[in-house]
Amino acid sequence: MLIKNPKDILSKYWGHEGFRPLQEDIITNVLDKRDTIALLPTGGGKSICYQIPAIASEGIAIVVSPLVALMKDQVATLKEKGIKALSIPSGIPFTELDALLDNCIYGNYKMLYTSPERLQQEIVLERIKQMNVSLIAVDEAHCISQWGHDFRPSYLEISKLRDLKPEAPVMALTATATTKVLADIEEQLSLVTPKLFKTSFIRPNLTYTVQYAQDKNYSLLQLLKAEKRSALVYVRNRKATTTTAHFLNSNGITASYYHGGLSKGARTENHNAWISNKNKVMVGTSAFGMGIDKKDVDIVIHTEIPDSIENYFQEAGRAGRENQPSTAVLLYNENDEIRLKNQFVAVIPSVPSVKNVYKRLLNYFRIAYGEGTDVSFPFNFSTFCQTYKLKTILTYNCLQVLDRNSILKLSKEFSKKATITFKVSDVALTYYLLKNPSFNGIVKTVLRTYGGVFEQVVTINHGVIANKSGASIEAVHKVLVTLDQDDILDYDHENFDSTITFLCPREDDRTINRISHHIKAQALTKTKQINSVRSYLSNKNTCRTIQLLAYFEEHITKPCGRCDVCLEHTNKIKKNDSAAISAVILEQLKKKPASSRELCALNFSEKEILSALKLLLEQQKIIITPANTYTII
């Protein structure tokens, strides 16, 4: 029986008796069939705002999101609650896609999660025509605006849903958007007099701090040792997740790590160890955290400078979900300005750089002029860059531009491409499986998925087999290797970084000229975002909260009183007053000897402490002990 009261749904499925600010108003507006824009900060409970209307309405809600991991997590969570939901995963054969879409029409499902790219497929659009669509929800809606921090041209395809289902209300959700972006969202989604619901970005319980750290590992340890509960550490790349987690574990702080290249099993294991508090710290790239609602995170630490205020604000906001006093710390030193130039500014794709990479790709795969539509190739990124002596980061960013503008599709995960053919009869295979029952699930999945494997060479996809059998890709590979060794089948395989699928015919410069305005707009936006991060780091006169809120056009005048800027201003000792700093150091050393690092815990910068120590040594008021600590003479 359909439950229509939002509070009853909230209580039954989520166990809550009351909504967070604005949630109920947003849900009511959607149930009244009105277009809606919900601008809620990270942790504001955006997903509830479309999930409850979907459950309360006849038909199925279509949820468009670019976050594959988030879609999977939400579908799994909804299923656990007994709510029928599904998503369209990548890499599935046509027959499976066909069956999934049939389920949406006839299976009484409440929610269909899909990526915007799927809306370019004719079969998907045709089936949506047949669905009783109750709501169209667009998550991460800022992606539709070229002025947003993560513009994705594929989001422009979402407007097709409005044409197909004009009677269904459209809901746009985002955590970070300026007035300009909000206007763009309204226009691009063809929203009809939408009502904007916007909460304040102020998080009174969250202190934002920028901390100078010559030795970031040491500072990281000190920060984490001071926290009793859960912590989240953001690093720049995949390698840093593993090295940082290993460093923390070797220093007595339990840590998991997470990045997009981990197998599904490893991601789940590491995630669960952190969620259950078996491990105190999660070290992740920006791929981690979206949709994660862990309430006991007391500190979020960035060891590298983020590429935009939007991303930083969203990631920092994952602390303090229970409204407990929490901290977001951004560690930096002199090397970060160089990193900003090398990692961000120098690798912003320009029209010439995108054209160069695109032409190299076409030549690399020997695609003739006018050809190349919907053809796929295994792609070794490192080999490609080495072949043409291309800069890896800039090249990758150019590939991202081509991907987002639907010139090609670049798979984001490592994959293995292979062919198989069985050398024995089906009867002989049956006897073999009786002796090796552990292979049963994977082999039968192969037989169900691919026809003709006894008669001809068939190309297989390890990811599809893994998903259907519930095994890991590595397990699928090992079973096939064993079958090959046992002379049951021929298994030819090769490893590649990824797969590239060209989506339009080769037209060289003309192909890129059509999207050149998008490339230029994105380059300008990216440059402005990086300059905003620079300004945030260098501005030591304005409260950090005031700075961040001003970026999102919310203006307050009252300082937080807790950030590094506020503490510096309230410190009675003037900056560069070396005599006064020396007096504080001497007072501290009267208690016990201390290292320079321990003295840096005082309310002064590392440079000020080191300068004062040098002066005290010259005045022969202190000495350095054999233990490398300072003590009074």
Domain assignments of the chain as residue spans, ordered by start: 6-198, 206-333, 342-413+500-527, 415-496, 571-632
Per-residue confidence (pLDDT) for residue 443, from 0 to 100: 93
Per-residue confidence (pLDDT) for residue 414, from 0 to 100: 36
| CATH for the stretch 342-413+500-527 | 1.10.10
Tokens of residue 37, six digits: 């824009």
Per-residue confidence (pLDDT) for residue 451, from 0 to 100: 77
Cα separation, 186 vs 585, in Å, equals: 58
Instruction: Inform me whether the pLDDT recorded for 162 exceeds 60.
Output: yes
> pLDDT by residue (tens digit) across 515-534?
999 899 889 888 998 999 99
Fold topology of 571-632: Arc Repressor Mutant, subunit A (1.10.10)
Instruction: Inform me whether the pLDDT recorded for 455 exceeds 80.
Output: no
Instruction: Inform me whether the pLDDT recorded for 45 exceeds 60.
Output: yes
DSSP annotation of 103 reads H
Would you give the distance in Å from CA 34 to the centre of its chain?
30
- Coil, helix or strand at residue 37: strand
Assess whether the region 6-198 and the region 206-333 belong to the same CATH fold.
Answer: yes
Per-residue confidence (pLDDT) for residue 494, from 0 to 100: 57
Per-residue confidence (pLDDT) for residue 365, from 0 to 100: 92
DSSP annotation of 194 reads P
* Percentage of residues in the chain having pLDDT higher than 90: 46
Strand partners, 57: none
- The two beta strands, 281-284 and 255-258, are parallel
pLDDT-derived band at 390, boundaries 50, 70, 90: very high
Per-residue confidence (pLDDT) for residue 149, from 0 to 100: 59
What's domain 206-333's architecture?
3-Layer(aba) Sandwich (3.40)
Instruction: Inform me whether the pLDDT recorded for 137 exceeds 70.
Output: yes
pLDDT-derived band at 415, boundaries 50, 70, 90: very low
| The CATH number of domain 6-198 is 3.40.50.300 | yes
CA end-to-end distance (rounded Å), the chain = 82
- Length reported for the chain: 633
Instruction: Inform me whether the pLDDT recorded for 66 exceeds 50.
Output: yes
Of 532-541, 597-606, 621-630, the range with the lowest mean pLDDT is: 597-606
The mean pLDDT value for 528-555 works out to 93
Out of 295-304, 307-316, 485-494, the most confident range is 295-304
Of 115-119, 121-125, 604-608, the range with the lowest mean pLDDT is: 604-608
Would you give the distance in Å from CA 457 to the centre of its chain?
38
> pLDDT by residue (tens digit) across 553-607?
899 999 999 999 998 877 654 555 677 788 888 988 988 888 888 887 776 777 7
Between 344 and 509, residue with greater pLDDT: 509
Cα separation, 288 vs 286, in Å, equals: 5
> pLDDT by residue (tens digit) across 250-309?
999 999 998 866 776 788 889 889 999 999 999 998 868 665 668 899 999 999 999 889
How far CA 146 is from CA of 40, 157, 184, 341, 517, in Å, comes to 20, 14, 8, 23, 10
| Mean pLDDT score across all residues of the chain | 87
Q: Phi-psi bin for 39: left (phi > 0), alpha (psi -120 to 50), beta? A: beta
- Computed from CA positions of residues 183, 185, 191, 193, in that sequence, does the dihedral angle turn out positive or negative? negative
Would you give the distance in Å from CA 153 to the centre of its chain?
18
Cα separation, 475 vs 109, in Å, equals: 32
Cα separation, 224 vs 232, in Å, equals: 10
> pLDDT by residue (tens digit) across 190-234?
999 999 999 888 999 999 999 999 899 999 999 999 888 999 999
Cα separation, 1 vs 21, in Å, equals: 28
pTM for the predicted model, two decimal places: 0.68
Q: What DSSP string describes 266-328?
A: HHHHHHHHHHTTSSSEEEE-TTS-TT---TTEEEEEESS--S-HHHHHHHHTTS-TTS--EEE
> pLDDT by residue (tens digit) across 328-376?
999 999 888 888 877 788 889 999 999 999 999 999 999 999 998 888 8
